[in-house]
Structure 1
Amino acid sequence: MINFHSIDKEFDKKHIWHPYTSMLNPLPSYGVTHTNENKIYLDTGEELIDGMASWWSAIHGYNHPRLVSAIQSQASTMSHIMFGGITHAPAVELCKKLINITPKSLDRVFLADSGSVSVEVAIKMALQYWISKGQTSKTKLMTAQKGYHGDTFAAMSVCDPINSMHSMYQGFLPEHIFVSAPKAKFDEQCTDTELQLLEQAFVKHHHDVAAFIIEPIVQNAGGMNFYSPSYLAKLRQLCNKYDVLLILDEIATGFGRTGKMFACEHANIEPDIMCIGKALTGGTMTLSATLTNQKVAVGLSEGEAGVLMHGPTFMGNPLACAVANASINLLFENNWQAQVERVNLAMSALKRCESLSSVVNVRTLGAIGVVEIDKVVNVAKIQKFFIKKGVWIRPFGKLIYIMPPYVSSSADIRELANAIYDAINEQQY
């Protein structure tokens, strides 16, 4: 039996690639022995308050007995079965739930195995839809700067082309059309100038554009840009007017993170295609979905191919579907709106950071809190400091942010906020 309390970190450092780190001078990787609720336990004995929800996915915290039970029960009957020519109850139940809680027009579901793949599927849907309609010139996507949609190639091609982590791949990726990032803040109305410039892009490019893709309300890994619902409402109008499909990437914003079940509800709009993932299984297993409406589903099926040309091996994985069903049930049983409101209220402790000279901006929305500083963070240095403070926070760029599990106590949220203040105040970044 493997002793999980003894982690060979030297082997890890020499041989195992971690996300966005170098094999020559890798960032430190801290050994974790176990997790519980909103706590992470290191092999060196520290107990850490989790501020990241494992990249925003573990909304119910860790080891929730209902989620563990769902996995164990499903594993005892059927862990996996191919989805080609076969269906099963966990997948059918999950798709019923997703159709029930997402915008009304989204009634067709493609189950994928990661957020990036759900974006790939959405792009394929949009391109294949127009091909089936005989409009072969509509081969481009339009998107906003500061966006992030994943690490696979089609997804990378619609990430910010200059400032994103994928800018080095220019020349290899398909070239798409980028407009300025939304400027009006969440609690503001877009100016006429901003909306006119957006429409000018549609006027110029709509004959070549299959779809506009964007993260609704919060552009996440591209800069944590909280923008106005009026931008999203106008975007829906322009897509209708100029015959362009609208893809909303709700992978990070879905399942309550912004204070709405899905962020598009802030603008009271419905997309043609929606991507979801991350919190779908409560942070237990990898699973995503791409939902679309009847127009797109039937339209692309009427083309020469007759089918959507995509089919992952682990599509509709029963284990993942079973735990996703349990996670969605928990959202409603736990009154997720009240949980998110409580987290948001506790995040007001971040406002204290505004008094620090190196802080550019502090912003919160739902269960998201962001402190933007005036220089790029030294991740290794600040994480060492955070460990000493008993918290787990992983910044990127100039952003020190938290997206904690919804079950986090107000006291724990304040501890996270205090650690961020101390790190900046003591220049531990």
Structure 2
Amino acid sequence: MFIKKSKTKFDKQHIWHPYTSIINPLTCYSVKKANGVILKLTNGIKLIDGMSSWWSCIHGYNNKILNKAIKKQLKKMSHVMFGGIYHNEAIKLCKNLINITPNNLECVFLTDSGSVTIEVALKMALQYWQAHGEYRKNILTLRHGYHGDTFGAMSVCDPDNSMHNIYKKYLSLNIFADSPKCKFNDIWNENDINSFKYLLNKHYKTIACVILEPIVQGAGGMKIYNPMYLKRVSELCKQYKILLIIDEIATGFGRTGKMFAFEHAGITPDILCLGKSLTGGYMTLSATITSKKIANIISNSKAGCFMHGPTFMGNPLSCSVANANIKILNKNKWFNKVKKIEKHFKKKFLPLLNSNKVLDVRILGAIGIIETINYIDINKIQKFFINNGVWIRPYGKLIYLMPPYIIKKKELNILTNSILSLF
């Protein structure tokens, strides 16, 4: 039995937060409610959210349309197993996903988190080659990549990234090409693809698939690379008949100024992974989408089916809010909102390239990244931002913003000005 403690003390002593020590945890702040782009703390302080709750709440908090969808579905059923059963919201969602993705992507596997959808995609690729009578276990990916925290996902994250390097000895050994050097707006340098091309040519007989984050590498380093790199990867995968998995978990649903980031390169993946903003940040849900051809080959494998099935697969509540989210996005109002955010970021942040404290500035769509010369004291800078009325959570040497698309100019100004005051 626990002795009565304050909520703050209980949280600090008994609750593990992401990437945090239980002995010496980072300071956590108690949120009472959220509305629009505002997080209201228990002590009454209001914070403008610059993170979209890890890049997912694209329409902000307490959205009337998304709220209504959940309430309506809740009266019918909150959950039902997906084994041997289907329901209208899942049917509707899969139709919606097929409609907004490339024509070849026809078969949808619904899961319950971003990491799991990566596991599913990798298992699809492995089972695909098993159905061809081949044992292919290697996966080709990029350095500075991040795909999640489960074991399969970790095995295709940058092996030297501090987030996962303590598990290196336990993970499957995969193949890592140098990350792209050419930035988004740079003149394309064909040499940028050499590392990837060399490794693919050397190992293609044992490679089951290629997996990468399109255009924007997320938590592995926040790199934004040239679309031509992705185009060349796609061409090489077709040449060597290797499956291409695109991880749109962080970038999908408008964040980069396109509905999906791979559209910047004009390519089509063999397997597409979606999550985060799929439900507008309301509930956990992800989707792995592939072609009918690949799905049929997997289904004709030795197992006779695809061997995966999460308990909360196709959860009706999650599907209902995802459908409402896609309905909002299909009105295309997000496009101009994201463009305005991008324009604001460029005006405010590009001058920081002249600062002796800044290594680089990277901007695309509703993503603004400042890479500093020195590592950041997270606790110290977090307190500074709280005192300035904003919620911004840097890490490593990166201070970045990914605000909800609905943010107003005044709120965006407060966010960006709070960062500028550091320099």
TM bin, normalised by shorter chain, reads: over 0.9
Say whether the 8 Å CA contact 1:148–1:164 is kept in structure 2: no
The residue number in structure 2 matching 1:78 is 77
**Percent identity over paired residues:** 53
Aligned partner of 2:207 among 206, 209, 213: 209
- Which ranges in structure 1 are unaligned for 5 or more consecutive residues? 1-5
The residue number in structure 2 matching 1:409 is 408
The residue number in structure 2 matching 1:268 is 266
**CA displacement at 1:167 relative to structure 2:** 0.9
Say whether the 8 Å CA contact 2:180–2:193 is kept in structure 1: no
**CA displacement at 1:189 relative to structure 2:** 4.0
- The one-letter code of the counterpart of 1:141 is I
- The one-letter code of the counterpart of 2:290 is T
**CA displacement at 1:104 relative to structure 2:** 1.6
Secondary structure of 1:225 counterpart: coil
Alignment length (residue pairs): 418
- The one-letter code of the counterpart of 2:300 is E
Distance 1:260 1:46 in 2: 35
| Superposed CA RMSD | 1.2
**CA displacement at 1:7 relative to structure 2:** 6.9
| Deviations 1:246-295, CA, capped at 9 Å, x for gaps | 00000000000000000000000000001000000011100000001122
| Deviations 1:82-104, CA, capped at 9 Å, x for gaps | 00000000000000000010122
**CA displacement at 1:164 relative to structure 2:** 4.2
The residue number in structure 2 matching 1:15 is 14
Distance 2:266 2:65 in 1: 32
The residue number in structure 1 matching 2:418 is 419
Secondary structure of 1:268 counterpart: coil
The residue number in structure 1 matching 2:314 is 316
**CA displacement at 1:302 relative to structure 2:** 1.0
Distance 2:217 2:131 in 1: 31
The residue number in structure 2 matching 1:305 is 303
Distance 2:274 2:77 in 1: 24
Distance 1:213 1:222 in 2: 14
Distance 2:6 2:369 in 1: 33
Structure 1 position 218 matched with structure 2 position 216: yes
Say whether the 8 Å CA contact 2:155–2:173 is kept in structure 1: yes
Structure 1 position 46 matched with structure 2 position 45: yes
Distance 2:192 2:329 in 1: 37
| Deviations 1:137-180, CA, capped at 9 Å, x for gaps | x1110000000000000000000001240011011000000110
| Deviations 1:197-232, CA, capped at 9 Å, x for gaps | 321111101001000000000001011100011000
* TM-score, reference length from structure 2: 0.97
**CA displacement at 1:331 relative to structure 2:** 1.4
Secondary structure of 2:361 counterpart: strand
The residue number in structure 1 matching 2:121 is 122
Aligned partner of 1:338 among 327, 336, 339: 336
| Deviations 1:2-43, CA, capped at 9 Å, x for gaps | xxxx97110000000000110111000000000000010111
Say whether the 8 Å CA contact 2:218–2:250 is kept in structure 1: yes
Secondary structure of 1:224 counterpart: coil
Say whether the 8 Å CA contact 1:164–1:222 is kept in structure 2: no
* TM-score, reference length from structure 1: 0.96
Structure 1 position 93 matched with structure 2 position 92: yes
Aligned partner of 2:141 among 133, 143, 152: 143
| Deviations 1:361-392, CA, capped at 9 Å, x for gaps | 11210000000101111111000000000000
- The one-letter code of the counterpart of 1:124 is K
Secondary structure of 1:333 counterpart: coil
Aligned partner of 1:347 among 321, 345, 348: 345
Distance 2:414 2:8 in 1: 28
The residue number in structure 2 matching 1:182 is 180
| Deviations 1:114-154, CA, capped at 9 Å, x for gaps | 00000000000000000001111x11100000000000000
Secondary structure of 2:228 counterpart: helix
Secondary structure of 1:226 counterpart: coil
- The one-letter code of the counterpart of 1:155 is A
Say whether the 8 Å CA contact 1:350–1:418 is kept in structure 2: no
Say whether the 8 Å CA contact 1:56–1:279 is kept in structure 2: yes
The residue number in structure 2 matching 1:3 is none
Structure 1 position 237 matched with structure 2 position 235: yes
Say whether the 8 Å CA contact 1:347–1:413 is kept in structure 2: no
Distance 2:323 2:407 in 1: 22
Say whether the 8 Å CA contact 2:114–2:274 is kept in structure 1: yes
- Which ranges in structure 2 are unaligned for 5 or more consecutive residues? none
Secondary structure of 1:219 counterpart: coil
- The one-letter code of the counterpart of 1:312 is P
Say whether the 8 Å CA contact 1:282–1:324 is kept in structure 2: yes
The residue number in structure 1 matching 2:323 is 325
